[in-house]
Structure 1
Amino acid sequence: MDTAVDFITDVNDRFWYAVIALLIGSGLYYTIRSRFIQIRLVPDMFRSITEKAEDLPDGQKGISAFRAFSISAASRVGTGNVAGVAIAISLGGPGAVFWMWVMALIGASTAFVESTLAQLYKVRDKGAFRGGPAYYMQYGLGKRWMGMVFAVIITITYGFVFNAVQTNSIVDAVASSVGEKTTTLQVVLGVVVSVLVAAVIFGGVRRISGVSQVVVPVMAGAYLVIGLIVVILNIGEVPGMFRLVFENAFGLEEVAGGGIGAAFMNGIRRGLFSNEAGMGSAPNAGATAAVTHPVKQGLVQSLGVYFDTWLVCSITAFIILLSDPVFGSGIDGAALTQNALAMQLGDWTVHFLAVLIFFLAFTSVIGNYYYSESNMEFLTGSRRVLPYLRSLVVVCVFLGAVGSVPLVWALADLAMGVMATVNLIALIPLSGIAYAMFHNYTAQRKQGRDPVFRRGDVPGVRGIQEWGDDDATLTAPPR
């Protein structure tokens, strides 16, 4: 097992230099080209997320921007925010937090591009819409083969590997709560989570979004309140904490093994695992929304990156750093966060965090599953395979509970890097279309109108499947 972990880690260490160069390079390009759209249009982000869903042509109520946001948030806000941040700090020191913040700012522009394109090239699903990178690769680039490659990768990554990570972290957190990790505990938790997941994912996208829009805000809100209490109790230490983050980020104070290099690499990796900007995952959720203009959902998904990293991940970092941890002590992952919280507010928080991680990881699993479902339909064009996919996902959820923590995280890193690479390569030639959509959106906003997109608004764009030609018909009639 150790040999496998070492080999995959070795591959990751080399491969991720290329992934990071692509992430940062493309993100900076989108940021400069749009003149910092991710900062300038923050008010529009909040306006878009509160809009009601448009009715579908068959009379059904579409999925709202907020519900689509909830699906992506369900996948984003999970163990990456609690265990992933702790691992980044353990391996890279406090400076890793700074690089997570930076990548969120840069990544928000990439999130805008990919989710705008996902909306533009979405297709009709049973009572809703579906779409994502596989769809804009086929309809936008005209490369179905590339879409198929991506669909296979995301199905494996999210349906199987990432879901194993989530249940693995549930076991880790519950073990810290009860004081011991045993085979019986792993098996029991694996069975419980598997049964709960099966009950939701066999109900389709509407049940997934319905569960997510309730559980995610409640649990994330509770976590933010707890974190804010910790910050208030240690308000005098906050300036020193920020100073430590910045100094370690630039190698001025090395408090973890690899100095600035370790801080940079771990901050980028864990930040991407958490906020998913550029990976091509969130666009699958963004495509489900029934909105009047594709740019609106692009802005909503940019806001999701901020929510995930600048709020939830930052709270975890503050909890850990304000407890003055001893780096390299052997405690990492969810256990490090639990121990830090217990030092601040008492032992009861160990149990509270175990419950929190359980629910956040559970919603991440069902959000992850939806990504694999959407892409499996792209691959096969049929819903008949979905029961088999759902069964395999449930099996992987169980296996994650009994698997090795280092191996599961190493596989997650590798899968995440491959997926991001394929998506980012596809985005480069399509980004011009996303910005043409943005110019159409801003032109309407300057006229004081609520932006509505019509198929012919951006000349020369081919492959649009579901947008109509006039204001009265936002989507094409069912085929």
Structure 2
Amino acid sequence: MSEVLASINEVIWSDWLVYLCLATGVYFSIRSRFLQVRHFKGMIQQLIRGERSPSGVSSFQALALSLSGRVGTGNIAGVATAIAFGGPGALFWMWMVAFLGASTSFVESALGQLYKTRDPLTGEYRGGPAYYLSRALAHTKAAGFFKVYAYIFAFVTVLACGVLLPGVQSNSMATAIDGAWTVPSGVVAVGAVIILAFVIIGGVKRIANFATIVVPFMAVAYIVLALIVVFVNAAQLPEVIAMVFRSAFGMDSAFGAVIGLAVMWGVKRGVYSNEAGQGTGPHAAAAAEVSHPAKQGLVQSFAVYVDTLFVCSATGFLILSTGAYRVFDNGAEDGNVIAEGGMLSATATVGPQFAQEGFDSVFAGFGSSFIAVSLIFFCLTTIIAYYYMAETNLRFIVGQASKKLIPGINASVGRVTTMALQIAILVAVAYGCINTASDAWAMGDIGVGLMAWLNIIGILILQQPAFKVLKDYEQQKKLGLDPVFNSSKLGITGATFWETYESDRAKRDTAGV
């Protein structure tokens, strides 16, 4: 099975996907005139002033929901893996894919908000790539093709988020817990399943409320303690930063003269962690209550910064400044060690242990427990976010298919398929706890890669509405207005939610409300 997974991974994560991620980020950054820099202030303002309603969560809750999917094992074990197999320079390429990916995140998230709909079963907002792929060009001759494309993406997302990706999170969580407290993986599996079952059955509102409390607290606590470790080792920082840049461009003989592995692992783990272009962010973006799609697009761009430039950087500097790293020459732990910091124990494996031993160098005996606790919260919230995304795409598939069924059984079909998904993700979590780390990561990479291929190609084709949204937002801001969206004014079709929103607003204005 390991060989099969590795072979599939090599095809999906070829150099072409790496180049596609970077090139798309460059293109969207240039076309948007680097909105990720120009609108940084607006990102913060929207988090503070965001709206909410019985159907939609606030911008901050949507950010927390998005971060709950982004901030997970990729920020700890993923960074360690990138450094181990791509050298310290992989951290630079993680920064680069985050900076460029912020513009990609805006485009996909603005589209997610633009083409969202209201779930007839729960009344909550739903949206994401499957929705904008099926709606954006519904009025053209290409409508049939994109409807099929949307189904394919929805199916892949249910498979990825419901089966392939949860195991990576639960595996890292079980590994960290076992390393800290010697708890068998079977016990971790049972505990995780019980906690997750309680939360995911509560729906998006409970998920968002849970994420709003847990994610900001744990992310801040993790960053603060990691920075304390880095400051204790402040004397190493100049050399660490120089080493990152030398390694990133193949100028450090200790890590080889070829930059291909640094780029590959930096982009691969960067996309896995910050999810820019993967198509996951638009799901959380669509759940938000805002008066203009660009508002939530900017908030989701900020989520990329938080994930990679803050959390991943904290892990990277923690590992490198303490010397808690090894670099292998063939992208696997069975390769030759070509460089190491000298801090790690002989038995340390790539993953959470790199960060655990780095913390232990300053907080003796505390590092393993702190990383284990961090991963418990990070991984659980990430799995919960995966479930929400899988459920959203399942709703899309069932909602489209049920139009051909007898109306009276539509609700029953929705409930049965949702229950099946809940069981599937809980099984995937339990299996991930007892699976090998290499197989768990391989399955996760396959899921991320498939979604990224489909979504990036889709948003490159459908980008025009997103830039109309951005231009309209900027024009209203220049006039000193709080931007309010009108899809008809911009000639955007298929945005049925916003058409209804405009109609309702006109009725309120006429009534003087």
The TM-score, its normalising length taken from structure 2, stands at: 0.87
Following superposition, the deviation at residue 69 of structure 1 comes to: 1.0
Is the 8 Å Cα contact of residues 92 and 258 (structure 1) preserved in structure 2? no
- Deviation string, structure 1 residues 217-266 (Cα, Å, up to 9, x no partner): 11111101101111221222211111000000001114446841111100
The 5-angstrom pairing of residues 20-419 of structure 1 reads: 20-55=18-53, 60=54, 62-125=56-119, 126-142=122-138, 143-178=146-181, 185-256=184-255, 259-324=258-323, 325-328=325-328, 331-381=349-399, 383-384=414-415, 385-419=417-451
Is the 8 Å Cα contact of residues 168 and 400 (structure 1) preserved in structure 2? yes
- Alignment: residue pair count: 466
Is the 8 Å Cα contact of residues 108 and 306 (structure 1) preserved in structure 2? yes
* DSSP 3-state at the match of 2:504: coil
* DSSP 3-state at the match of 1:436: helix
Is the 8 Å Cα contact of residues 91 and 257 (structure 1) preserved in structure 2? no
- Deviation string, structure 1 residues 10-68 (Cα, Å, up to 9, x no partner): 435xx43111222122211111111111111100111112223244xxxx363111111
What RMSD in Å do the two structures reach over aligned CA positions?
A: 1.9
Query: Using the alignment, how far apart are the partners of 1:354 and 1:3 within structure 2?
Result: 30
Is the 8 Å Cα contact of residues 29 and 103 (structure 2) preserved in structure 1? yes
C-alpha change, 1:149 and 1:2, in structure 2 (3 Å) is closer
Query: Using the alignment, how far apart are the partners of 1:260 and 1:283 within structure 2?
Result: 32
Is the 8 Å Cα contact of residues 98 and 246 (structure 1) preserved in structure 2? yes
Q: Which amino acid aligns with 1:216?
A: V
Is the 8 Å Cα contact of residues 92 and 257 (structure 1) preserved in structure 2? no
Is the 8 Å Cα contact of residues 118 and 133 (structure 1) preserved in structure 2? yes
* DSSP 3-state at the match of 1:346: coil
- Deviation string, structure 1 residues 407-436 (Cα, Å, up to 9, x no partner): 111121122111111111111121111111
Query: Using the alignment, how far apart are the partners of 1:475 and 1:105 within structure 2?
Result: 39
Is the 8 Å Cα contact of residues 255 and 327 (structure 1) preserved in structure 2? no
Following superposition, the deviation at residue 160 of structure 1 comes to: 1.2
Following superposition, the deviation at residue 6 of structure 1 comes to: 4.1
* DSSP 3-state at the match of 1:327: strand
**Counterpart of 1:437?**
469
**Range moving further from structure 2, 223-232 or 111-120:** 223-232
Q: Which amino acid aligns with 2:175?
A: D
| Bigger radius of gyration among the two | 2
Following superposition, the deviation at residue 71 of structure 1 comes to: 0.9
Is the 8 Å Cα contact of residues 359 and 366 (structure 2) preserved in structure 1? no
Is the 8 Å Cα contact of residues 157 and 389 (structure 2) preserved in structure 1? yes
Query: Using the alignment, how far apart are the partners of 2:155 and 2:253 within structure 1?
Result: 41
Q: Which amino acid aligns with 2:233?
A: N
* DSSP 3-state at the match of 2:496: coil
Query: Using the alignment, how far apart are the partners of 2:197 and 2:248 within structure 1?
Result: 42
Query: Using the alignment, how far apart are the partners of 1:395 and 1:475 within structure 2?
Result: 48
Query: Using the alignment, how far apart are the partners of 1:25 and 1:153 within structure 2?
Result: 23
Is the 8 Å Cα contact of residues 358 and 367 (structure 2) preserved in structure 1? no
**Counterpart of 1:7?**
7
Query: Using the alignment, how far apart are the partners of 1:470 and 1:409 within structure 2?
Result: 42
Q: Which amino acid aligns with 2:457?
A: I
The 5-angstrom pairing of residues 417-456 of structure 1 reads: 417-456=449-488
The TM-score, its normalising length taken from structure 1, stands at: 0.93
Among all aligned residue pairs of Structure 1 and Structure 2, give the percentage whose two residues are the same amino acid: 39
Query: Using the alignment, how far apart are the partners of 1:19 and 1:476 within structure 2?
Result: 48
Following superposition, the deviation at residue 457 of structure 1 comes to: 2.5
Is the 8 Å Cα contact of residues 456 and 469 (structure 1) preserved in structure 2? no
Query: Using the alignment, how far apart are the partners of 1:84 and 1:476 within structure 2?
Result: 51
Is the 8 Å Cα contact of residues 233 and 322 (structure 2) preserved in structure 1? no
- Deviation string, structure 1 residues 333-366 (Cα, Å, up to 9, x no partner): 1111111111232121211110111111000000
Query: Using the alignment, how far apart are the partners of 1:255 and 1:124 within structure 2?
Result: 55
Q: Which amino acid aligns with 1:237?
A: Q
* DSSP 3-state at the match of 2:494: coil
Which sections of structure 1, spanning at least 5 residues, go unmatched?
Answer: none
